[in-house]
Amino acid sequence: MTAAPRTADAPSLAVSGLAYAYPDGHQALFGVDLEVARGERVALLGPNGAGKTTLVLHLNGVLGGGLGTVRVAGLPVEKRNLAEVRRRVGIVFQDPDDQLFMPTVREDVAFGPAAAGLRGAELAACVEKALAQVGMAGYADRPPHHLSFGQRRRVAVATVLAMEPEILVLDEPSSNLDPASRRELADILRSLDVTVLMVTHDLPYALELCERSVVLSDGVIAADGPTRDLLCDEDLMRAHRLELPFGFDPRTPRLPGAARPGAAAGTARG
């Protein structure tokens, strides 16, 4: 794949004045400003109906035509740039079965790079690297439907990593994962040299993985700051229908090695 060069010193994501109304007249975004630096991991928080999905769908040009601008590594998200923008912004869906459709894991991961023109040894190396990044190298010839849910989610991440994205967008990455799989996915995400925007209702996971969080509520950015500070702001949390799990206190520092059951990222358990 031959990628367009990123603009020097440009943030991975720059959203300015983004406003959008659906054809039925529902106004979902009212002027969103958001900048995410290269290599940041940022959690996008907010209640249902806040506009999170609408915002994410603007990042790779699925939605457009409203007011404001979106730039990915300095590249404007507009019709003439859509192919490159969609390579740079990799979205991992909440349900991996929406993303996996080929007979084998290898073919699923190869699909995007092959469509982009990779062939032969170069394609094979790309697939091998992406699967190794998510600890699934030994599963390349397995049918995806024979894998556990957690393993399928890792493969879905690999299908995006194979395109060498600028930004990895994760939609509820911890949903339906058992504790070990949840931990292993977190280890994988920490190991990646990529910008991460994580859309989640799992507030402890946001605290664990993202130093910064953004609260989107009623189509506007209601708060933007260190994740721990936002989660400790009881008035802010209450105002935007965000609730911590029973017994979870974001003020309590984690002990070294705490909440790290299970194997390292290189093992492939579900």
Q: Read off the pLDDT of residues 194-226 as tens digits, 9 standing for 90 and up.
A: 999 999 999 999 999 999 999 999 999 999 999
Q: What is the pTM of this model?
A: 0.88
Domain ranges of the chain: 13-239
Average pLDDT over residues 112-121: 94
pLDDT tens-place string over residues 137-159: 999 999 999 999 999 999 999 99
- Angle in degrees, 0-180, between the axes of helices 149-161 and 120-133, rounded to the nearest 10: 130
Q: From the options 3.10.129.10, 3.90.850.10, 3.40.50.300, 3.40.50.720, give the CATH code of 13-239.
A: 3.40.50.300
Residue 78 confidence (pLDDT) above 80: yes
Please check whether residue 72 is in contact with residue 150, taking contact to mean a CB–CB distance below 8 angstroms. no
pLDDT tens-place string over residues 244-264: 999 999 988 664 444 433 333
Average pLDDT over residues 22-51: 96
DSSP strand pairing (89-92 vs 75-76): unpaired
In the chain, the percentage of residues whose pLDDT exceeds 90 is: 88
For 72-118, the DSSP string reads: ETTEE-SGGGHHHHHHHEEEE-SSGGGT--SSSHHHHHHHHHHHTT-
Residue 128 confidence (pLDDT) above 50: yes
